[in-house]
Amino acid sequence: MPTDRRTHQTEASCVQRRCSDCECLKNELQRDSKIVVPPLPGKALKRQLPIGGDEGIFEESLIEERRQGLQFINKTAGHPLAPNERCLHMFLQEEATDRNCPREAEVRQLILEALQQVNLDVRECGQLARSGPVSGFQEDTLQLAFIDLRKDPGE
């Protein structure tokens, strides 16, 4: 799929997606964005296998219905707010999709909770920085503590 948007990593991407991946994208966008997401085609469970005179998943009407329904990607990606949606970028560019990764809203909430636990706001940090050295601490103690926090637990 070609793009001229600066927010994409490459000018074109080619990924394979299943209908279930499209459902996950739709659910994610409906939950966390302001984009109105077009409907997806039905799964047509009764037509998964040829029964009697039915051609199953190869029936022309089913193929056409799905083709039109899956054009929702173009409609969704063309929305003015689409460049702001990380899940859409991942859907269109990443080779593999990870349905278990935390959503952006959850990550923001975790960060907010962590900041509240530390109970330092910008003013307190500024006051601490201007107050000079704290007795009993070496100059790089705080910096080393943050480096230790960033280290992988498996190291």
Which CATH number does the domain housing residue 62 bear? Answer: 3.30.1520.10
Domain carrying residue 117: 105-150
- Buried residues in 25-45 as b, exposed as e (16+ CB within 10 A): bbebbeeebebebeeebeeee
Q: State what percent of residues in the chain have pLDDT above 70.
A: 44
Within a domain: residue 25?
yes
Within a domain: residue 59?
yes
C-alpha to C-alpha distance for 60 and 19, rounded to whole angstroms? 18
Whether residue 99 is predicted with pLDDT greater than 80 in this model: the reply is no
Is residue 94 within 8 A of residue 11, CB to CB? The reply is: no
Within a domain: residue 140?
yes
Give the total number of structural domains in the chain: 2
pTM (2 decimals)? 0.47
DSSP state letter for 45: G
Within a domain: residue 14?
no
Give 86's contacts (C-beta < 8 A, 6+ positions apart).
Answer: 104
The 10 Å Cβ neighbour count of residue 21 is: 14
Residue 93 and residue 33 share a domain: yes
pLDDT confidence band for 1 (50 / 70 / 90) = very low
Query: Virtual CA dihedral for 148, 151, 152, 155, nearest 10 degrees?
Result: -80
Q: What is the mean pLDDT of the chain?
A: 69
CA distance between the termini of the chain: 40
Residue 92 and residue 48 share a domain: yes
pLDDT confidence band for 23 (50 / 70 / 90) = confident
pLDDT tens-digit map of 110-132: 777 776 666 656 666 666 666 66
Write the Ramachandran bin of 20: left for phi over 0, alpha for psi from -120 to 50, otherwise beta.
alpha
